[in-house]
């Protein structure tokens, strides 16, 4: 890596990365001309690829008209059009759209709307929002209280109202068959047990990532899980919130991941792929039956300055139009199947790949020291950092987290943009193979030659 001068910027760590010069399609170039394949669409954000000319043109057109109009002073065509489009894509009945600028803001909005709804309808004793462990719902303190990822939450525990957690349905770790409906019911019923333990009359909502994101590494729920969760929430008047911050926008092979199971949540949130990195944007989409009582009771006591700003909304609308015009959701299904089977193919060469999972182009693989028991690699290897760095050096960007609630285990998200071609998949697998070979050698892990 190049030596760099002192920076006045800071993020989570002292890690320095090359300076980005340019990005186009699935590729990015640093200022020294080195090319990277964006194999994780940033943080699963740039779903339509970089520098899409249609989106850039739509943003330019909006900039010529106005870049900001404060929502208490003006309505804008861009926000209105995008709200109409988002409501048309959401399950029937979810037709009220509240704009924000990112995922954490969307999560905060959802739990505050849920809370105000119960207060407005005489159920003020409901305040607990149940979530899963592991999970990721954002970095602000409200969203963090729902997040199940110990290293991120522990320092802030005294500052947060603890929210109850149930285990995420990690059948692959528990030796259960995810294709069996009983497996889905086994995990979903943990929600009902927890609701009853907490006192159903105190539970406000359950929040779930329909397909897991960074914290679980693309965890797909077992059969029967999502439908049973819906039934349980309905039975106990608990609001169901689908956190589609990462899955929304086509990444799993449907515009919203909940469509795979035909489940309608009460509140749906979307962010990353919504404006695909062209502008900070997110939304909460809620059932009118939840929004109206809140507005009648004096209004939704919540909001952000940049909400619904026309430039972000114009970008968001153009992104969705491009997804539709180029048939990107279909491509995601097709290329996702190919990439997943190629990743599964790597398990022969690298016996330390314990699991490959995901849907569409939300895919991940997990490294272990023993496939039979799914025992993680020794923590000191720091595989989740090391392999990402090796891949970066080789010109491939992937995304990683520790699998077991952040405490140990290593998984890697391979989530290239939804415009990825079959040739690009070949390139991703070549770069990954090169990187895994180097990593295996460094960590003294076995590699089987292809002939073996
Ligand atoms: N919810 C989910 C499922 C996410 O994956 C993320 C971010 O990774 C968030 C919420 C928080 O989004 P943001 O980082 O935009 O605040």
Contact residues for 25 (Cβ-Cβ < 8 A; gap 6+): 49, 50, 51, 417, 419
Strands 399-401 and 410-414, sheet pairing: antiparallel
**77: region left, alpha or beta (phi > 0 left; psi from -120 to 50 alpha):** alpha
Which CATH number is associated with domain 20-52+327-443? 3.90.1150.10
Return the residue whose CA atom lies nearest to atom 12 of ligand 1.
103
For ligand 1, the distance from its centroid to the CA atom of residue 360, given in whole angstroms, is 19
274-313: string of b/e by CB count within 10 Å (b at 16+)? bbbbbbbbbbbbbbeebbebbeeeeebebbbebbbbbbbb
Residue 244 CA, closest ligand 1 atom number = 3
Q: Give CATH 3.90.1150.10 domain extents, the chain.
A: 20-52+327-443
Partners of residue 36 on adjacent β-strands: 28
Task: Please give the CATH number for the structural domain made up of 54-325.
Answer: 3.40.640.10
- pLDDT tens over the chain, length 452 residues: 556 788 999 998 889 999 999 999 999 999 999 999 999 999 999 999 999 999 999 999 999 999 999 999 999 999 999 999 999 999 999 999 999 999 999 999 999 999 999 999 999 999 999 999 999 999 999 999 999 999 999 999 999 998 999 999 999 999 999 999 999 999 999 999 999 999 999 999 999 999 999 999 999 999 999 999 999 999 999 999 999 999 999 999 999 999 999 999 999 999 999 999 999 999 999 999 999 999 999 999 999 999 999 999 999 999 999 999 999 999 999 999 999 999 999 999 999 999 999 999 999 999 999 999 999 999 999 999 999 999 999 999 999 999 999 999 999 999 999 999 999 999 999 999 999 999 999 999 999 986 44
Q: Is the CB of 104 under 6 A from ligand 1?
A: yes
> What digits encode the pLDDT tens for the residues 309-347?
999 999 999 999 999 999 999 999 999 999 999 999 999
Give per-residue pLDDT as tens, 159-198: 999 899 999 999 999 999 999 999 999 999 999 999 999 9
Q: Rounded to the nearest 10 degrees, what angle do helices 310-325 and 53-65 cross at?
A: 150
274 lines ligand 1 (CB under 6 A): no
Domain with CATH 3.40.640.10 in the chain: 54-325
């Amino acid at each position: 890596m190049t030596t760099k001068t002192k920076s006045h910027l800071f993020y989570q760590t002292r890690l320095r990365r090359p300076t980005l010069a340019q990005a186009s399609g699935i590729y990015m170039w640093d200022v020294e001309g080195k090319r990277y394949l964006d194999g994780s669409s940033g943080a699963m954000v740039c779903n339509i690829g970089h520098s899409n000319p249609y989106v850039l043109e739509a943003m330019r057109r909006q900039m010529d008209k106005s870049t900001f109009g404060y929502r208490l002073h003006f309505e804008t065509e861009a926000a209105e059009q995008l709200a109409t489009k988002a409501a048309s894509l959401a399950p029937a009945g979810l037709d009220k759209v509240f704009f924000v600028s990112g995922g954490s803001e969307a999560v905060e909005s959802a739990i505050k709307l849920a809370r105000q709804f119960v207060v407005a309808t005489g159920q003020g004793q409901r305040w607990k929002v149940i979530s899963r462990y592991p999970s990721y719902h954002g970095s602000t303190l409200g969203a963090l209280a729902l997040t199940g990822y110990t290293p991120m939450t522990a320092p802030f525990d005294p500052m947060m109202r603890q929210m109850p957690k149930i285990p995420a349905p990690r059948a692959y770790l528990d030796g259960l068959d995810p294709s069996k409906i009983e497996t889905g019911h086994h995990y979903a019923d943990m929600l009902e047990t927890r609701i009853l333990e907490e006192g159903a009359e105190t539970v406000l909502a359950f929040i779930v990532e329909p397909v897991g994101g960074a914290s679980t590494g693309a965890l797909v729920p077992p059969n029967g899980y999502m439908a049973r969760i819906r039934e349980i929430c309905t039975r106990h008047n608990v609001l169901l919130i689908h956190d589609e911050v990462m899955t929304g926008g086509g990444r799993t092979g449907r515009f919203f991941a909940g469509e795979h199971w035909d489940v309608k949540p009460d509140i749906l949130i979307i962010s990353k792929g919504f404006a695909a990195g062209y502008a900070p944007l997110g939304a909460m989409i809620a059932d009118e039956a939840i929004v109206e009582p809140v507005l009648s009771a004096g209004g939704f006591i919540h909001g952000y300055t940049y909400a619904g700003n026309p430039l972000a909304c114009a970008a968001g609308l153009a992104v969705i139009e491009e997804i539709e015009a180029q048939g990107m959701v279909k491509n995601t299904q097709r290329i996702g199947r190919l990439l997943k089977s190629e990743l599964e193919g790597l398990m022969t060469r690298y016996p330390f790949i314990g699991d490959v999972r995901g849907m569409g182009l939300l895919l991940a693989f997990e490294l272990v020291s023993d496939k039979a028991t799914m025992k993680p690699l020794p923590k000191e290897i720091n595989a989740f950092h090391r392999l990402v760095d090796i891949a970066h050096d080789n010109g491939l960007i992937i995304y990683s987290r520790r699998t077991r609630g952040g405490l140990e285990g290593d998984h890697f998200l391979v989530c290239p943009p939804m415009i990825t071609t079959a040739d690009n998949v070949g390139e991703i697998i070549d770069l990954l193979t090169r990187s895994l070979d180097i990593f295996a050698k460094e960590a003294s892990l076995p590699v089987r030659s292809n002939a073996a």
